[in-house]
Amino acid sequence: MGSDFVPVARALSARGFDLAIRAAPGQPHVRAGDAMILWQGTDDPLARARALEGGVQEVVGPWMHEAEAAARIIRLAQEQQPRLVLGDLVIHLLDRRVERAGRPVPLLAREYALLLHLARHAGQPLSRADLLRAVWRLDFDPGTNSVEVHMSRLRAKLDRGCARPLLRTVKGRGYMLDVGVGVGADRGSGA
């Protein structure tokens, strides 16, 4: 990419993004999911227009401020990220972000793993033993209330301020993510 890309790489790194940079035939580019971002060494509007018409999703270069170039790359990376969409719940699978009704839901690693497992089995009650095996990787019951504590914390974070709770306790069967609508995997825009 050349030394002129270094400020952009630093700006991306400071925001927690790692890059996969590959040389494409003719021009270096950055891939963000399925999107291709062209690194154009000089400010050439005609070449930029041809690249965009040719299928490139974005063109950045040293002729723009590194913060703007980084913001454009990050925007595309986030749009291209695979995610699980369940009603008003969106789980971003790569950067492990969770949103409910457009509101970010900050989760600890174990809470995220628990939610993801429940989401992948939405509408099905999962027993304490199922959760211990899948999330904690335990084939025995340690005799603690860890599952209950994590479910309580997850429920408080996920359902806070929402009219309809997603996490349910199914008496005698376990816990369930009840989205009440179709479940689907989504790649990119259109939550």
Cα–Cα distance, 15 to 8 (Å, whole number):
11
pLDDT of residue 175: 95
Contacts of 17 (CB under 8 A, 6+ apart): 70, 73, 74, 77
Place 28 in a pLDDT band, splitting at 50, 70 and 90.
low
Give the residue, 159 or 40, on which the prediction is more confident: 159
pLDDT of residue 29: 62
Contacts of 137 (CB under 8 A, 6+ apart): none
pLDDT of residue 78: 72
Which helix (H) or strand (E) covers residue 128, if one does?
helix 128-134
Cα–Cα distance, 114 to 30 (Å, whole number):
33
Place 4 in a pLDDT band, splitting at 50, 70 and 90.
confident
Residues of the chain by 3-state class (helix, strand, coil), percent to 5: 35, 25, 40
Place 135 in a pLDDT band, splitting at 50, 70 and 90.
very high
pTM of full prediction above 0.75: no
Beginning with the edge strand found earlier in the chain, give each strand of the sheet holding 58-60 in spatial order.
Answer: 21-23, 28-32, 35-39, 58-60
